[in-house]
C-alpha cells in the first residue's frame, strides 16, 4: 500500500496521529498517551507501522480499536448541545460577563468577578484529581436558574461543590449560617444541601454537599455541620485519598449520566 499520509489531530485533549489513504479515509490511528496503534484492518499492519515509524516513541501495542464501554457509547451518542463536559469552571459567569461586562470604572469590584475567581480556583483544584480516578463537571444548570458550581465524581463518592470567595477574610460557620468577614450572615448551608438533594434525585445516587472556601484568613466552625464537608481550596487535593464508595465502572456511568443536560432538566 502506497501513498499513506500521517495527519495529527487532537481529540478530547489527547494527541492522535491518523494514518489516511490518498482518498482521505482513515485506516489507523496512533494514540501517543496510551502508546497504542489502532488498526481498522489487519492487512494494512506493515504499511501503517512503516508510515508511523518516524513518529513512534518507545514500545507500542498494535491491534484493533478496543470495544467501547456502555459509558463511552453513551458519550458518543450524546448531542454536543446536551454535553456539559466541555463547560469551563465558572462557565455561566463567563457568559454573563461577556454579554454584560458592566461599567469600566466602578467604586466597588464587580462581585461576579470575585465569584468567577473562586469557581476557577476550585475548578482547577478539582480537575487535578483526574489522575486519581475522579471526574469533575462544572457549572451544571438546574431548572429555575440555579446551578451547581462543580460536581466531583470519584472513588470517594459524589460531591456538589460550592465555591465561595473568601480572600483574606474570616469565615464563621454556624450551621446553617455562614458569615464572611463583616458581611451579614446567610443560610448558605441550607442552599448547599438543597442543591445536593436535587442532584441526588437526578442521578439516583447520594450526592453530598461541600463548601469550598477560597483563600480565607481564618475559618471557625462552631459545630460540625450535618452531612456536609467544609474545605479550603488548598485542601481539595485531599479528596484523592478518599475511596471505597464507588467502583471505576460506577464513576464512569455516573459521569456519563451527569454530563447529559437532559438529566438535570427532569428536576
The proportion of the chain whose per-residue pLDDT surpasses 90, expressed as a percent, equals: 61
pLDDT score for 7: 87
The yes-or-no verdict on residue 127 having pLDDT over 70 is yes
Question: What is the rounded distance in angstroms from the CA atom of residue 134 to the CA atom of residue 98?
Answer: 30
Q: If pLDDT is split at 50, 70 and 90, which confidence band does 71 have?
A: low
Name, in order, each residue with C-beta under 8 angstroms of 204's C-beta and a sequence gap of 6 or more: none
Please compute the mean of the pLDDT values over residues 203-212 and round it to a whole number. 95
For residue 216, what are the CA distances in angstroms to 19, 79, 112, 121, 212? Answer: 52, 40, 18, 13, 10
pLDDT score for 251: 92
Lowest mean pLDDT among 63-77, 145-159, 229-243: 63-77
User: pTM for the full model?
Assistant: 0.74
pLDDT score for 32: 83
pLDDT score for 73: 65
- What's the half-sphere exposure (Cβ side, CA atoms, 13 Å) at 141? 16
∠ CA 211-218-194, nearest 5°, is 20
Q: If pLDDT is split at 50, 70 and 90, which confidence band does 124 have?
A: very high
Q: If pLDDT is split at 50, 70 and 90, which confidence band does 241 have?
A: very high
The yes-or-no verdict on residue 13 having pLDDT over 60 is no
Amino acid at each position: 500500500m502506497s501513498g499513506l499520509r500521517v495527519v495529527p489531530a487532537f481529540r478530547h485533549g489527547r494527541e492522535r496521529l491518523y494514518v489516511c489513504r490518498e482518498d482521505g479515509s482513515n485506516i489507523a490511528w496512533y494514540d501517543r498517551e496510551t502508546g497504542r496503534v489502532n488498526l481498522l484492518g489487519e492487512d494494512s499492519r506493515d504499511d501503517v507501522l512503516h508510515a508511523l515509524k518516524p513518529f513512534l516513541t518507545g514500545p507500542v501495542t498494535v491491534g484493533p480499536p478496543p470495544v467501547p464501554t456502555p459509558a463511552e457509547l453513551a458519550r458518543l451518542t450524546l448531542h454536543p448541545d446536551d454535553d456539559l463536559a466541555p463547560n469551563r469552571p465558572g462557565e455561566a459567569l463567563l457568559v454573563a460577563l461577556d454579554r454584560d461586562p458592566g461599567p469600566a470604572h466602578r467604586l466597588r469590584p464587580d462581585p461576579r468577578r470575585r465569584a468567577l475567581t473562586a469557581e476557577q480556583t476550585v475548578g482547577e483544584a478539582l480537575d487535578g484529581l483526574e489522575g486519581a480516578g475522579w471526574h469533575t463537571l462544572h457549572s451544571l444548570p438546574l431548572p429555575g436558574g440555579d446551578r451547581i458550581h462543580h460536581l466531583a465524581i470519584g472513588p470517594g463518592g459524589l460531591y456538589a461543590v460550592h465555591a465561595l470567595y473568601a480572600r483574606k477574610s474570616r469565615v464563621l460557620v454556624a450551621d446553617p449560617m455562614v458569615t464572611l468577614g463583616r458581611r451579614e450572615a446567610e443560610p448558605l448551608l441550607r442552599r448547599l444541601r438543597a442543591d445536593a438533594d436535587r442532584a441526588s434525585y437526578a442521578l439516583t445516587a447520594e450526592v453530598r454537599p461541600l463548601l469550598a472556601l477560597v483563600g480565607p484568613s481564618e475559618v471557625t466552625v462552631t459545630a460540625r455541620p450535618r452531612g456536609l464537608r467544609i474545605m479550603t481550596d488548598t485542601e481539595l487535593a485531599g479528596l484523592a485519598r478518599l475511596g471505597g464508595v464507588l467502583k471505576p465502572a460506577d464513576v464512569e456511568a455516573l459521569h456519563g449520566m451527569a454530563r447529559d443536560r437532559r438529566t438535570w432538566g427532569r428536576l
